[in-house]
Amino acid sequence: MSAAGFTVSYLGTGSGGSTLRGHTAMVLHCPDGERILLDAASGNTVLRHGEQLGISPTDYDHCLLSHSHPDHCEGLPHIEMIRSRRNPEERPMQVHGSERAMADIATLLAYPTRGLSVAADGVRRRDGRLVFNLRPADPGQWVQLTPTVRAKCAPVDHIGGAMAWRVESGGQSIVFSGDTRWCPSLAELAQGATLLIHEALCVEAERSRAEATAHSTAAEAARIAQLAGVGSLTLTHIDNAYHLDTGPLETEARSVYDGPVSVAADCWQQPV
Ligand SMILES: [Zn+2]
Ligand SMILES: [Zn+2]
């Protein structure tokens, strides 16, 4: 772990259509030791890759969700199951996202054979214990997650209710784009951030693919990094076509953005 600042553990770094990587999720290890989950991937990606890195789902109580596409949030009930098994007294997980995302998550969690019931005050197991609070976030408003960690979101251009998140602690800041087309409001949210984690589906030569699915190219991600003057850029949400050779994404981003560029991989831990 980075002594002075954040460390990011990338648990899933694949695009929605990826069959070679886990879907999107990461854990932020904050400067004061707090851990925050950013997106929840699908299936057991967060649990499986977390296990490899020594990260238990009982290590974090807050999850920030970018949007309600299943590749970013479908892992939540699986995470809850293991949290409850490992610690039956576990505090409810605080899930933050747009109002639309929270409504969609409620539908996901209410699946009949899951044994969860969704009510206005939260989501309960059969024994009545509260396991989730769903917290709709106001764009632009800081949410104090712990005494030393705060976060705020801003709308991006992908599906209804899609958000990017900025997390700040110990004088550092990390911004995660979620899924989005080129989106100027993201440059505003990312202004001066220590690290921007931005999705990149493909390179400019294939931009029609990014346009058709409301995603960004590596150059577009880099333009946001350049405009916002961030300290470094990490590309994620990687498609099968770039799984083995991420070089074209990295080279394109470097031609637009002056700072350091990395491409995330599953189970990579990045000191910030
Ligand atoms: Zn996605
Ligand atoms: Zn999406």
Name the residues around ion ligand 2, CB cutoff 5 A. Answer: 69, 179
Kindly list the structural domains of the chain, giving each domain's residue range(s) and its CATH number in brackets, ordered by start. Answer: 7-271 (3.60.15.10)
Q: What CA dihedral angle connects 31, 34, 39 and 41, to 10 degrees?
A: 110
Instruction: Please list, in sequence order, all residues whose beta carbon lies within 8 angstroms of the beta carbon of residue 234, skipping any fewer than 6 positions away.
Output: 8, 195, 196, 197, 198, 261, 262, 263, 264, 270
Q: What is the C-alpha separation between 236 and 254, in angstroms, rounded?
A: 15
Name the residues around ion ligand 1, CB cutoff 5 A. Answer: 16, 71, 179
Ligand nearest to the CA of 17: 1
Q: What is the C-alpha separation between 257 and 222, in angstroms, rounded?
A: 5
Ligand nearest to the CA of 16: 1
Ligand nearest to the CA of 201: 1
Q: Residue 177: which of 66, 100, 64 has the closest Cα?
A: 66
Q: Taking 70 as the threshold, does the pLDDT of residue 1 lie above it?
A: no
Q: Taking 90 as the threshold, does the pLDDT of residue 2 lie above it?
A: no
Cα(217) to ligand 1 centroid in Å equals 14
Q: What is the C-alpha separation between 82 and 45, in angstroms, rounded?
A: 13
Per-residue pLDDT tens digits for 151-184: 999 999 999 999 999 999 999 999 999 999 999 9
pLDDT at 78: 98
Residues 7 and 267: beta-carbon distance below 8 Å: no
Share of the chain above pLDDT 70, in %: 99
Q: Give Cα 64 distance to the centre of its chain.
A: 7
Per-residue pLDDT tens digits for 234-265: 999 999 999 999 999 999 999 999 999 999 99
- Strand partners of residue 10: 26
Cα(268) to ligand 2 centroid in Å equals 22
Cα(67) to ligand 2 centroid in Å equals 7
3-class secondary-structure state, position 51: helix
Per-residue pLDDT tens digits for 99-157: 999 999 999 999 999 999 999 889 999 999 999 999 999 999 999 999 999 999 999 99
pLDDT at 15: 98
Element (H, E) at 93: strand 93-97
Structure confidence at residue 3 as a pLDDT band (50, 70, 90)? low
